[in-house]
Structure 1
Amino acid sequence: MHDPATRSRNMAAIRGRDTKPELLIRKALHSAGLRYRLNVRDLPGKPDLVFPRYRAIIFVHGCFWHQHDCHLFHWPATRQDFWREKIGRNVINDERAANALLEAGWRSAIVWECALKGRTRADFPEAVQRLITWIKGDEQTITIRGG
């Protein structure tokens, strides 16, 4: 078993930004001519992509870290109390950020990891087109998830 210091270093190695799913979305939207800012710290939840011109933000959520109800999420068998508390906090923080952004007049999208990988992944060009249409439109929220 690892000591707490090793466990802490391992947790620190987990990416909070520039993840593969996020990079896929960024590249596709940039190729479509959309320009954005990354991880804007002064917005609630530090959205992954911010489109000030459209007053729209996108979160690219990992299914495990944000407790998505899909095949990519399962509770770890060890340290269950720790994980339930940690992931539960993430879910609460997500809800708070979404509400604060809505109150501040931002439109928000969530792209779930399962939409981009795994056995239920969505058709990527179709998912990107849905995002582009949403960004340029006036719909308040959109969620893109695996099938």
Structure 2
Amino acid sequence: MDIVTREHRSRMMSGIRGKNTGPELAVRKAAHALGYRFRLHRKDLSGSPDLVFPARNTVIFVHGCYWHRHEGCRYCYNPKSNVEFWTEKFKNNVARDQRVGQELQQGGWRVVTLWECETADDDGLRKRLKQIFRS
């Protein structure tokens, strides 16, 4: 049983953004502060990656733990209502992520996924970005 009406839930869900999210802005801020330069949401690349580092042939996707099913994460829970719909939705999201990643790799790109939960710790995020670009 949902604690809000269907109309209210619909309004809430329609407000969820796909670009310029809080976690994405945190990654952009950290990358820029470290001197890494990037492009945003290049539509000519499969999946329109959140950050594109052309000089390093690297793309970064900043995935929400809930929507993209970050296994083992506390934010990756299953809804209790409309279970069939959500199961299919999540399955399709994960399949699309895998397909897009393979297409980009075949095009010569290194694909990195940063999870929403990783962006909460600024120091940890900076270390992770340094680690990504060291290799």
Q: What range describes the TM-score normalised by the shorter chain of this pair?
A: 0.7 to 0.9
* Map 1:66-105 → 2, pairs under 5 A: 66-69=68-71, 70-105=73-108
Q: Secondary structure at the match of 1:99?
A: helix
**Equivalent residue, structure 1, for 2:32:** 30
Question: d(CA) in 1 for partners of 2:33 and 2:55?
Answer: 17
Greater per-residue helix proportion = 2
SS at match of 2:67: coil
Q: Name the SS for the 2:28 alignment partner.
A: helix
Unaligned runs of 5+ in 1: 118-122, 140-147
> What is the alpha-carbon root mean square deviation over aligned residues?
1.9
Tell me, what secondary structure is at the counterpart of 2:6? Answer: coil
Identity of aligned residues (%): 43
The answer as to 2:118 corresponding to 1:115 is yes
In the other structure, the counterpart of 2:50 is 48
Q: Which residue of 2 aligns with 1:61?
A: 63
Q: What is the rounded CA distance, in whole Å, between the counterparts of 2:32 and 2:119 in structure 1?
A: 17
Aligned mates of 2:76, 2:125 — CA distance in 1: 21
Query: Which segments of 5 or more consecutive residues in structure 2 lack a partner in the other structure?
Result: none
TM-score w.r.t. the length of structure 2 is 0.86
**How far did 1:130 drift?**
2.8
Match of 1:129 in 2: 127
**Which one has more relative contact order, counting CA pairs under 8 Å at least 6 apart?**
2
Alpha-carbon separation, structure 2, partners of 1:71 and 1:84? 17
Matched pairs, number: 130
